Structure 1
Amino acid sequence: MPELPEVEVVRRGLVSWVRGRTITHVEVVDRRSIRRHALGPEDFTGNLEGARVLDVVRRGKFLWLPLADTPAGDTPAADRPPVPAVALMAHLGMSGQLLMQDTAVPDEKHLKVRLRLSPAAGMPDQLRFVDQRIFGGLFLTSLIPTEDGGPGGLAELPLPLIAEEASHIARDPLDPDFSFDAFYRRLRARKTGLKRALLDQGLISGIGNIYADEALWKARLHYARPTDTLRRSEALRVLDAARDVMTDALAAGGTSFDSLYVNVNGASGYFDRSLNAYGREGQHCKRCAAAGLASTMRRDQFMNRSSYTCPVCQPRPRNGRW
């Protein structure tokens, strides 16, 4: 499952290719990939064709393209910019890819939806949604005002609007409008394990299993640490660690364990080569080894997944119940 850095890599790539361009034609190759659009393929294509992409927005792992009816040749007055009411939502699922391709490039084996875009110098003219496992999909959604009045998510032109399906999730650590004070108050009130809290998208979004393990390792905290015992300095430490880990992953293009995650140019990330905790069961802890200590990374079952920790520099708390 792509995590926040992977989705942000896709967002940044899409912005430079699709922003300001008009969707001229839509081809639904596999109806299963628009199953979340309840009104069906005809409504899906009818609402997209002729719409102009205003931006690409991300909150947590959610990604959407706000749309306007203003034709590409029209220039709205400076004091009356178009205010989008709908957006194209992209859910990548386990294997979804958004690829920019020229018409001359042969179709990918698992092509599901093709969007043709208005011409732009030196840019591909198709946005293709490819999905091998078909857990992802595209659909149209309404944009609604944000609860706090701030931007809906990370974008080039921040607007106080958010895709309705994403309105229930909290801001993520890379969001400029993220409030540490509000996060800490809610964290302390949770009375749960620290990793469970980090994975709670209603508390803080965008941190998945891989980056939670990496952030906790970097912060020297165990996943079972009760949140109601967490000091402010410790909460800040794990939040800073999550930011650092995800920023490093962004610089590396994301974390890829196979060919299913790629950015808009089809290139995989390589942050997995820099992982310190996740997937390292039975290997030496890098930090302890550097300090001359002998310790071996362990794996525990956690919420039908796995958690990787060092028993020396991330000791399990005596009162850890999660």
Structure 2
Amino acid sequence: MPELPEVETVRAGLARHLTGRMVERVEIFDPRPLRRQEGGADAFVQRLTGRTFTAAVRRGKFLWLPLDDGAALVAHLGMSGQLLVHGTPGALAARESGDDAHAFLGDPDAPRVDLTATRAPLPAEDPDARPRHLRVRLHLSPIAGDAPGGAVLDLVDQRMFGGLRVTDMVPTADGAPGGAGSLAPLIPADVTHIARDLLDPHLDRPAVVAKMRHSNRAVKTLLLDQGIVSGIGNIYADEGLWAARVHGLRRGSALGPRVTARLLDATGEVMERALAAGGTSFDALYVDADGAAGFFARSLAVYGRAGQECRRCGALLRAETIGGRSHVFCPRCQTRPRSARA
């Protein structure tokens, strides 16, 4: 499932292509991704048609596009969701030049990887073209520079664990901006239970440390709890734990405040490096708004590498299950707690 770096990469692309664009028409090819929409598919169409996107905002793994009437289009990508923009001037320029540098948020002078071969087919020149697994299409009101066939935002989703919905916005509990991409102290009403993430400057880190240290749950489970700190999934939990030399089975209450803070810092640093690489893509399902894949998978230290050598000490990495989720770790760098040893 896409985690913070992957969703942030998508958010940045949507902000670039969609801010200030109006939805002229909505096509629904499969209503299942709209199952959480109050009022159903008809309400979704009615609430979006004629509305203008004012920004693209993210908190953790949740993404929303504020609308000019005070509501927001909320998206969760689930296991395989893609929000792909076709036909806008920016998308056309990228396609013609093959330049994917705009897809990254890291150092603009850093070397780039040519992602042209990873792009999904772009149907911008044909408004009737339908990519496989296309569920919802938003047609944008035309502006100068759009493709002859028009500009669209597509929801393409193979497994359909995610979805779209239009919902009202409410003030944030702390009065700070709702998430990355907007200074407005607003958040979708059904996202208020999601905590701030490690890249959010308004995150109360001492409060997160305190919550983790007052829990007897395994620290990996705590990292995955979106109500404590959001945006971390299985990939970056394993990577952060390895970077901080902490085994995922250690209880939160057994960690000192410095170790807990170090773990949060290490996990945040891993996600920042992943973000600079466009996120982690294992297959064609993980792409940004332009259809380009991220390349952080090449830099993973432990996730997906069980049985291979630790990049730090050379010991063979092991895998086990914690709370129903796989956990890959180094038995030498990340000592298992005594109570968990066989």
Shift of 1:11: 0.2
- Contact 2:22/2:50 (CA < 8 Å) preserved in 1? yes
Alignment of 1:81-96 (within 5 A): 84=70, 86-96=71-81
1:117 and 2:136 aligned: no
Helix, strand or coil for the counterpart of 1:200? coil
Deviation string 1:101-146 (CA, Å, 9 cap, x unpaired) is: 1241432111111111123444561111111112221111111111
Deviation string 1:149-180 (CA, Å, 9 cap, x unpaired) is: 1111111x311111112100111000110111
Closer, same or farther: CA 320–188 of 1 in aligned 2, 3 Å: farther
1:299 corresponds to which letter in structure 2?
A
Deviation string 1:41-62 (CA, Å, 9 cap, x unpaired) is: 2221111111111111111101
TM-score between both structures, scaled by the size of structure 2: 0.85
Paired residues in the alignment total 300
Distance 1:257 1:311 in 2: 25
In the alignment, what sits opposite 2:27? 27
Shift of 1:28: 0.8
Structure 2, unmatched stretches of 5+, are: 88-123
- Contact 1:22/1:52 (CA < 8 Å) preserved in 2? yes
Distance 2:295 2:77 in 1: 19
In the alignment, what sits opposite 1:262? 287
Distance 1:14 1:123 in 2: 16
Helix, strand or coil for the counterpart of 1:58? strand
1:101 and 2:86 aligned: yes
Helix, strand or coil for the counterpart of 2:338? coil
Distance 2:38 2:283 in 1: 32
Distance 1:227 1:33 in 2: 36
1:284 and 2:304 aligned: no
TM-score between both structures, scaled by the size of structure 1: 0.90
1:152 and 2:178 aligned: yes
The one of 113, 121, 127 aligned to 2:153: 127
In the alignment, what sits opposite 1:305? 325
Highest RCO, 1 vs 2 (Cα 8 Å, sep ≥ 6): 2
CA RMSD of aligned residues (A): 1.4
Closer, same or farther: CA 137–95 of 1 in aligned 2, 3 Å: same
Structure 1, unmatched stretches of 5+, are: 70-83, 290-294
The one of 196, 207, 211 aligned to 1:186: 211
In the alignment, what sits opposite 1:49? 49
1:217 and 2:245 aligned: no
- Contact 1:226/1:319 (CA < 8 Å) preserved in 2? no
Helix, strand or coil for the counterpart of 2:45? helix
Shift of 1:147: 1.1
Closer, same or farther: CA 191–302 of 1 in aligned 2, 3 Å: closer
Distance 1:118 1:296 in 2: 56
- Contact 1:224/1:316 (CA < 8 Å) preserved in 2? yes
Shift of 1:191: 2.1
Distance 2:226 2:146 in 1: 36
